[in-house]
Amino acid sequence: MQDTAWTHTTVLLEEAVDALLQEEPGCYVDATFGRGGHSKLILSRLHPKAQLIAFDKDPEAVIEAQKIQDPRFSIRHQGFTHISDLAPQSALGVLMDLGISSPQIDNPARGFSFRASGPLDMRMDPSKGESVRDWLARADEQEIKEVIKDYGEERFALSIAKAIVARRQERGVPQTTTELAQLVAGAVKTRESGQDPATRTFQAFRIFINRELEELQQALEATLEVLQPGGKLVVISFHSLEDRIVKQFIAKHSKEQFDRRAPFARPQEMALKSLSRIKPSEEEVERNPRSRSAIMRVAQRLSAGSEVRA
């Protein structure tokens, strides 16, 4: 159920829209609608004959999007991997804001927050897939450790995994976010200044349960087919795992591709040109502390051929 008491401040709003839009009419994609900050600003500047297609797997985001009464706008209740469903070379720009929205964090019922008690869920789309609680009820110690280590970059991953399994054997799996947060805090020997000891574990479980990194890689590859030559790719990431994927993707396709099996063959042309890397201003970070880790990368589609797709 939607609750409008929680608000969201869009990060790098002006910068992202400035980088995305071009003068001529065409189709643009907001691949992660969230609460619509980017989409609404895009629509306010969009050519009368242009089009904006938005995607989001969160039902609450879709409800928010349906309030927009603009014939140029449409919303799809799908994750951004479904960018691949769009026609080849149909988009002048694709925007991905990879951050979890403030209403998702602040609403305890969604199960993302370790500060307020809620069900241990963390699914972006609560109608599909497995919740964190259900996964923890069946996962073994090794799998839990690997998820915490790989997706949370948590050095106490083994201690946390052992604590979760021990708790499950004694009293059952934690049922709420605060129960899990307290369990993690007891297993983390030292804390980073200003960071809750559960931060990395909650990040890891959220990324894993929603397949965020796998879906990001798939969505980025899809943009090579969907973007027109000259079209822009704008991606805002909020932690190093996401940004590394985006950075490596742009770097890979910003150089000629050689086929080692045919060393004398003509190399495939570059697919992308890296344009910029932008971080929030000091003023924005002061206004919105959640923006402090954001990095925006911008690239432009060069060659039209789909043969460069990895």
The Cβ of residue 281 has, within 10 Å, a number of other Cβ atoms equal to: 12
Give me the CATH number covering residue 179: 1.10.150.170
Number of domains into which the chain is organized: 2
3-state secondary structure of 95: strand
CB 16 within 8 A of CB 95: yes
Instruction: Based on the fold, state whether residues 134 and 180 are members of the same structural domain.
Output: yes
284 domain residue, yes or no: yes
How confident is the model at residue 167, as a pLDDT?
97
120 domain residue, yes or no: no
> Average pLDDT for residues 62-87, to the nearest whole number?
97
Tens of pLDDT, residue by residue over 109-130, are 888 888 889 999 999 999 999 9
The Cβ of residue 158 has, within 10 Å, a number of other Cβ atoms equal to: 17
Instruction: Based on the fold, state whether residues 98 and 218 are members of the same structural domain.
Output: yes
> Average pLDDT for residues 205-232, to the nearest whole number?
97
How confident is the model at residue 281, as a pLDDT?
94
Tens of pLDDT, residue by residue over 239-292, are 999 999 999 999 999 986 555 665 555 555 789 999 999 999 999 999 988 889
Enter the tokens of residue 216.
């990001």
Instruction: Based on the fold, state whether residues 131 and 198 are members of the same structural domain.
Output: yes
Residue 267 DSSP one-character state: P
The Cβ of residue 195 has, within 10 Å, a number of other Cβ atoms equal to: 9
Last residue of a domain, one of 209, 224, 254: 209
Nearest CA to 31 out of 207, 251, 218, 209 is that of 218
> Average pLDDT for residues 160-178, to the nearest whole number?
96
66 domain residue, yes or no: yes
Segment holding 130, helix H or strand E: none
Enter the tokens of residue 198.
């559960």
298 domain residue, yes or no: yes
Strands annotated E in the chain: 27-30, 51-55, 73-76, 91-97, 227-237, 272-278, 295-301
3 domain residue, yes or no: no
More confident position, 11 or 162: 162
7 domain residue, yes or no: no
294 domain residue, yes or no: yes
What's the chain's average pLDDT? 90
More confident position, 304 or 173: 173
64 domain residue, yes or no: yes
Nearest CA to 206 out of 234, 239, 179 is that of 239
> Average pLDDT for residues 144-163, to the nearest whole number?
97
Last residue of a domain, one of 146, 179, 209: 209
Instruction: Based on the fold, state whether residues 224 and 256 are members of the same structural domain.
Output: yes
How confident is the model at residue 2, as a pLDDT?
39
Residue 295 lies in domain: 13-102+212-308
Instruction: Based on the fold, state whether residues 138 and 274 are members of the same structural domain.
Output: no
How confident is the model at residue 260, as a pLDDT?
61
pLDDT value at 96 more than 90:
yes
Buried b (16+ CB within 10 A) or exposed e, 178-193: bbbbebbbebbeeeee
Last residue of a domain, one of 183, 209, 235: 209
